[in-house]
Amino acid sequence: MDILGGRTVKGVNFVGLKDAGDPVVLASMYSEKGADELVFLDISATEEQRDAFEPLVYEVAKTLSIPFTVGGGIRSVEKVGRLLHQGVDKVSVNSSAVMNPELVSQISNVYGSQCLVVAIDARFENGDWWVYTTGGKKKTNLKLLSWAKECEERGAGEILFTSMDHDGTKAGFANDVLSELSQCLSIPIIASGGAGTIQDFINVFSNGKADAALAASVFHFEEIEIQQLKQELASAHIPVRL
């Protein structure tokens, strides 16, 4: 769930955001319908130079019986501690990790890699995947594969990779580069960006070699039913929690 102004939003290629509903209501619904985990990303926190909105995080956490990851504006180990105390299971860092890579090491050293997800937004340009920050607004000089490897070496427990080219398009995940990530990393990879059909999910596991798949609009707007998706994945011999 991408959060902006206290509401769940969804766009295409990180722009054209549309309201998708109340995050507390949606979180409760997804928990009841069988989602394995929920990821809450305050997408404007970094640009507005503020922390993730803690009262809303707490309200969502109270409704959940599944693992809950929160990201957006997390710039210190102290902030991580406050979120974990409020019922969050994992934190996700993105722009703050690029600006201060040592933050990844610090969080991992204090709280363990099991609660640390490094999110990476990247776009394919001039023959390579380049990392972007600040909700996809600022291009960096970092390349996806080398930055992901550094994050793993610094103690990241998982990598959440979003293809900006595929985000919201419903045209399938970036399976080729996901497969490359899988080969160069030993930690789990969460694929994000491009889910449109059940076959897209099957492909991201079989071809993209992802360990998990994240999706938003197909669930927010009830285009794919979670239990049906899981049954289809199981029928395709992909391990899934039913």
Catalytic positions, written as ranges:
2, 121
Neighbours of 57 (CB within 10 A): 23
d(CA 242, CA 191): 20
H helix runs in the chain, sequence order: 23-33, 54-63, 77-85, 95-99, 102-111, 144-154, 175-184, 198-206, 217-220, 226-235
Count the alpha carbons within 13 Å of 182 in the hemisphere toward its beta carbon.
Answer: 17
Q: Would you give the end-to-end CA distance of the chain in angstroms?
A: 22
In contact, 98 and 133? CB cutoff 8 Å: yes
Q: Alpha-carbon Rg of the chain, whole angstroms?
A: 16
H helix runs in 112-185, sequence order: 144-154, 175-184
Q: Dihedral through CA 25, CA 55, CA 134, CA 12, nearest 10?
A: 10
